[in-house]
Amino acid sequence: MEEKVLKARPGMPLLFLFILLYIAAVGLIALGGVLLFNQNYIGALPLAIGIVWVIIGFIPFLGLKIIKPQEALVLTLFGNYIGTLNEPGFYFVNPFSTAVNPAANTRLGQSGDVDSGATKSKFVISSEGSTVQTNVPTNKKISLKIMTLNNSKQKVNDVLGNPIEIGIAVMWRVVDTAKAVFNVDNYKEYLSLQADSALRNIVRIYPYDVAPGIDTTGDGEPDEGSLRGSSNLVAERIRKEIQAKVEAAGIEILEARITYLAYAPEIAAAMLQRQQASAIVDARMMIVDGAVGMVEMALEKLNENDIVELDEERKAAMVSNLLVVLCGNRDAQPVVNSGSLY
């Protein structure tokens, strides 16, 4: 169902008219009473008209609606969708029309929900058996503002099967009020569910860290995509996935961001040890490469300058000593040879 903008009448002139009619009704009652008091029975007619209008005259006031900026009101008349008021102003619509918003009482930790302060008291039974009074909003307006959905963190297995915890924040807004109200049962809960589903679908494609032989793009070639290193790309894929699912609900997804990412507690310590071991191995490889280069340079300088002639056995001893000094974890203790070379 597509959104239809309702062309409503300005409310201010009609408000003054209804007030004047109420005043006139009170005047008719007073006139009819005076005439009947003077035994002029023709006064029964204005008296009856005044009493009837005083009783039913409140009905036109129900058609007066105030729309604030970035708000919308979806209206139905006897079950038929008649249109949406989405322009700020003071309007008059059919007083028998009904505002529809199935998500009016839904609060999912989202920002920007419309709340005009109109509430009603509702008594509920708590888990301890006591009665608790809560305020339930009765406002049926739909917010057109940009809102933020921040669902709770989820535990998901990445492509390698490692359990991780991840949370996202989704910036969204309603762009078609008719679809949001009539195509789904509750568009806020629908969005929350689809956000969780899309998050799981995308996260299971990526490893937490870069891993060899993993294809995250679907082109059949391994790449270096990961949740930690490609967070912007992952967030954009999540946004597109959510948008495809909530299109039918008249919702536009503006942005998705990863707000929390970590290994699950049960493997966090083991993964930390693994990262530390990998860092130590990488550092050792760099140290060894540098030490070999320095030893090679030292031997070349000794030969070029003809400082000393070393046979193969002495070269091997010198290389061993230099590697121990350069690659050791602790400072070497020097030994001074005051005798001959051999």
Tens digit of each residue's pLDDT (9 = 90 or more) over 178-227: 999 999 999 999 999 999 999 999 999 988 887 777 878 777 777 778 88
pLDDT at 335: 60
Among 167, 199, 164, residue whose Cα is nearest residue 271: 164
pLDDT at 15: 92
Rounded CA separation 288/286 (Å): 6
With 0.85 as the threshold, say if the pTM is over it: no
CB 175 within 8 A of CB 252: yes
pLDDT at 241: 94
CB 91 within 8 A of CB 11: yes
CB 186 within 8 A of CB 106: yes
Where exactly are the structural domains of the chain? 9-100, 145-263, 269-327
Structure tokens at 30: 């007073």
**In the chain, which stretches have pLDDT less than 70?**
108-138, 267-271, 273-275, 277, 306-311, 326, 328-342
pLDDT at 111: 45
Rounded CA separation 260/42 (Å): 80
pLDDT at 61: 92
Say which CATH superfamily domain 145-263 falls into.
Answer: Band 7 domain (3.30.479.30)
Longest dimension (CA), the chain: 149
pLDDT at 116: 40
